[in-house]
């Protein structure tokens, strides 16, 4: 009876098999890494998109419900119902209606709201009272980061664009005397422009009610 020897793998065959396995593992890792990177990028872009959409929605809601209700500040000085401009601390400040009160708290359904750009971040501020009887701390909400600019323009009743509101003075129709601005005067529309570091400029024209 003839004995047959069991033949194993040679060293060269093992090296070749290991090399093939290493190449396949590297290709699989590279593909998996690419998939994970793409997924993370998409999730980040989706979060960014949601933040931008929420910011624009907030602006649309606040501006669209602006009412002609001026306030008095902590010094008792009258302030216009809507105020805005590049040189102001708050780029846009207004009084809006439609402030929900589900808990039936002792407060009005009107709300004083302001938008402020600080160090590349856009903040929404609101106060729990309209007329301030003293220093009242505002409630702040961070809406969006990576914001280079936040600009506003105002379309007045004569269809002229203004960079500041309210107008500095109104002219009398019978005399050349300057009249003080009416704090309750509202523009026809407000144009907002957000200049983002990653997406560039986003502009919306938002009409006011009435």
Residues 92-145 have pLDDT tens digits of: 999 999 777 666 666 678 999 999 999 999 999 999 888 887 778 899 999 999
User: What are the boundaries of each domain within the chain?
Assistant: 56-207
Q: Max CA-CA distance within the chain? A: 132
Six-digit token pair at 206?
């938002």
> What is the token pair recorded at 47?
């979060």
- How high is the pLDDT of residue 39? 74
Q: What is the DSSP letter of 160?
A: -
Arithmetic mean of pLDDT, 70-94: 91
Q: What is the mean pLDDT of residues 12-27?
A: 76
pLDDT at 40: 75
Kindly tell me if the per-residue pLDDT of 73 is higher than 50.
yes
**Looking at residues 154-169, what average pLDDT do you find?**
90
Would you say residue 5 has pLDDT above 60? no
Q: What is the pLDDT of residue 22?
A: 78
**pLDDT at residue 172 in the model:** 41
Average model confidence (pLDDT) across the chain: 84
Residue 51 pLDDT greater than 70, yes or no: yes
| Cβ atoms within 10 Å of 116's Cβ, excluding its own | 18
Q: What fold, for 56-207?
A: Pili subunits (3.10.610)
- Spatial CB neighbours of 60, under 8 Å, sequence gap ≥ 6: 204, 206
pLDDT value, residue 159: 93
For residue 180, the model assigns a pLDDT of 61
pLDDT of residue 9: 67
C-alpha closest to that of 118 among 94, 149, 139:
149
Rounded-to-integer distance, Cα 157 and Cα 92, Å: 19
Q: CA torsion 25→28→31→36, rounded to 10°?
A: -90
């Amino acid at each position: 009876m003839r004995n047959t020897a069991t033949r194993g793998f040679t060293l060269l065959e093992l090296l070749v098999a290991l090399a093939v396995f290493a190449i396949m593992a590297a290709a699989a890792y590279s593909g998996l890494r690419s998939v994970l990177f793409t997924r993370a990028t998409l999730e980040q872009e989706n979060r960014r998109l949601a933040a931008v959409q929420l910011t624009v929605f907030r602006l649309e809601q606040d501006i669209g419900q602006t009412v002609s209700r001026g306030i008095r500040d902590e010094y008792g000085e009258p302030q216009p119902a809507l105020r805005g401009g590049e040189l102001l601390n708050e780029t846009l400040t207004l009084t809006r209606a439609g402030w929900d009160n589900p808990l039936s708290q002792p407060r009005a359904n009107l709300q004083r709201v302001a938008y402020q750009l600080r160090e590349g971040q856009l903040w929404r501020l609101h106060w729990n009272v309209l007329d301030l009887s003293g220093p009242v701390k505002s409630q702040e909400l961070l809406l969006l980061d990576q914001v280079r600019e936040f600009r506003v323009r105002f379309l007045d009743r004569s269809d002229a664009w203004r960079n500041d509101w309210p107008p500095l003075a109104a002219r009398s129709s019978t005399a050349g005397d300057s009249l003080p601005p009416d704090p309750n005067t509202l523009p026809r529309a407000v144009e907002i422009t957000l200049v983002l570091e990653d997406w560039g400029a986003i502009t919306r024209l938002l009409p006011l009610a009435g």
